[in-house]
Amino acid sequence: MLRTRAVGSIFPSMYINRLSVDRQVSVPVEILDALGLKGGDPIVFAIDAFGEVTLGRADDPFINPTANFTGWASEADRDAFADL
């Protein structure tokens, strides 16, 4: 099991974790709780021009500009894209 630890920094809460050999990482529960996420929720990773990575809710329009796009939101569209 990987251990996550909080570290002092300029951020009120910062966590250091380690990638598994399969290049996976567990998100600390404190971050999931802060974002209001639960298992199965979609998330977004955004990389800015400076290489900074932001993790956020997929339905947050400040992180994901397409969050409110409903052009392909029919049940048929969800079924067609479910396995992507």
Spell out the domain ranges in the chain.
1-33, 36-70
| pLDDT tens digits, one per residue of 1-21 | 344 455 555 667 778 889 999
More confident residue, 24 or 4: 24
11: left (phi over 0), alpha (psi -120 to 50) or beta: beta
Helix (H) or strand (E) holding 69: none
High-pLDDT (> 90) share of the chain, % = 15
CA angle 63, 7, 2 (to 5 degrees): 80
Q: Return the pLDDT at 2.
A: 42
The mean predicted confidence, pLDDT, of the chain is 79
Average pLDDT over residues 80-84: 75
